[in-house]
Amino acid sequence: MIYLDNSATTKIDPKVLKDMQPYLEDQYGNASSLHQLGLDSRVAVDRAQAKIARFLNCDKKEVYFTSGSTESDNMAILGLTRAIQKAKPKKKLHIITSVIEHDAILESCRQAELEGVEVTYIPVNKSGIVNVKELFKAIKSNTVLISLMYVNNEVGTIFPLSQIGQRIKNINKTRRQKIYFHTDATQAPAYCNCDVLKLNADLLSLSGHKIYGPKGIGVIYVRDGVTLEPLMFGGHQQDGVRSGTFNTPGIVGLGVAVDLLTDKVKLRKENKRIKLLRDYLVCNILKNIEGAQITGDITKKVPSNASFIFKGVEGESVLLMLSEAGIAVSTGSACSSGSLEPSTTLTAMGISPELAHGSIRITLGRFTTKAEITKIARLLPGIIKRLRSISPLK
């Protein structure tokens, strides 16, 4: 199988798996236990926490382990608003996000609305980047949180987070009610600077399985002084902010995966290689498939993303025919690919629902080869031509 769905999940890096292995076999102690096996596991957890703190440029105590970005996003939205509501029960709260956030954010916002929080959803431009002017125009005296993704999971466009974060910081100097700034950085760590001080972020979410680490482990960065109402109760681990037995193998794996991103020279070389492959693919598809369109501004995307719409075909049909040929891609984002509705990201960018149904997301990664890209570039024009010849959409 040629795997080109790296925005959905990545293959675990061999070094990550190797370093996790002992904690799946002999070093299996509970990191909260006081005997030697437990203490050994706790040391491993602390080391991973320190690696992630260095990567984010924060204090180790500001790093909390979760089951992944979905949980981290829920903690950021609901944990923060519930904590403020608890402290100020009569205060009506307002939060701001964009219309193309991941469902982990959007569904959390809808839940917050049920709990009495007002939410403003900011539109995006045709490139899939939040309208910054509308964003700041939406701020009210009772705005407590702005939550924006760093990189869109479907079209790969990068939001200008550092500029937005700096402006929020400046606005906060003259406000009684602080505006907290959260980013869902799930798609960003391999390609973008995740220094929380440069982003001026108060909260940040990331997930292991998007950066060649294991599934089922993630992190939420919580700036010192920010209070979250816990969503999980019971074991009092992690200062009661996120209770539950430490997933020691996953935490070790996440620490290694993050550590592999700190070699800037190697990372730049890797991303340059990925971008060259991506650009080769885009050039061939646009040249050889009539009516093919790239979605999102190619100059403002992460180098791994090549997302297209093909007029006159259904994206699901393209996906299935590529799968039969041994090539894995996605239609839109993997988390919502079971839906029959057109991509909300694409329609928010001004693409018609009819065209949005013909979307395909191809995402490259660390293990993608030139031979694999050459194969899909060779096969895809024939697949589109065949589907158009039998499609009622033509």
Last residue of a domain, one of 259, 291, 325: 259
Same domain, 60 and 207: yes
> Do the domain assignments include residue 91?
yes
Cα(352)–Cα(343) distance, integer angstroms: 10
Q: Is residue 204 part of a domain?
A: yes
3-state secondary structure of 225: coil
The token duo for 365 is 């990664």
User: Could you tell me which residues are beta bridge partners of residue 98?
Assistant: 122
Q: What b-and-e string marks burial along 256-283, b requiring 16 or more CB atoms within 10 Å of the CB?
A: bbbbbbeeeeeeeebbebbbebbeebbe
Stretch (H or E) spanning 280:
helix 264-288
Amino acid 234: pLDDT: 86
Structure tokens at 247: 């997933």
What's the confidence (pLDDT) of residue 294? Answer: 96
Same domain, 244 and 374: no
Q: Is residue 2 part of a domain?
A: no
Query: Count of domains in the chain?
Result: 2
Token pair 């895809």: residue: 380
DSSP states along 317-338? HHHHHHHHTTEE-BSS-GGGTT
- Average pLDDT of the residues in 50-67: 98
Q: What is the pLDDT of residues 233-271, one digit of tens each?
A: 887 899 999 999 999 999 999 999 999 999 999 999 999
Q: Is residue 125 located within the same domain as residue 216? A: yes
CATH of the domain at 345: 3.90.1150.10
112-131 residue pLDDT tens: 999 999 999 999 999 999 99
The token duo for 347 is 């329609």
Q: Which residues contact 173 (CB under 8 A, 6 or more apart)?
A: none
316 in a structural domain: yes
Give me the phi and psi of 161, to 5 degrees please. Answer: -70, -40
Indicate the SS3 state at residue 203.
strand
Q: Which of 234, 259, 284 is the last residue of a domain?
A: 259
Instruction: Answer yes or no: 192 catalytic.
Output: no
The answer as to whether 8 is a domain residue is no
**CB 238 within 8 Å of CB 72:** no
Q: What's the pTM value of the predicted model, to 2 decimals?
A: 0.95
For the chain, give the percent of residues with pLDDT over 70.
97
User: What integer pLDDT is reported at residue 394 of this predicted model?
Assistant: 52
pLDDT digits (tens, 9 = 90+) for 139-175: 999 999 999 999 999 999 999 999 999 999 999 999 9
* pLDDT at 2 (0 to 100): 97
Quote the DSSP letter at residue 100: T
Domain co-membership, 40 together with 142: yes
- pLDDT at res. 390: 87
End-to-end CA distance of the chain: 30
Listed residues 259, 274, 291: the one ending a domain = 259
Interval 210-233 mean pLDDT: 96
pLDDT tens by residue, 313-360:
999 999 999 999 999 999 964 455 555 678 899 999 999 999 999 999
Contact by Cβ (8 Å): 314, 358:
yes
Structural domain span for residue 51: 14-259
253 and 281 both lie in a single domain: no
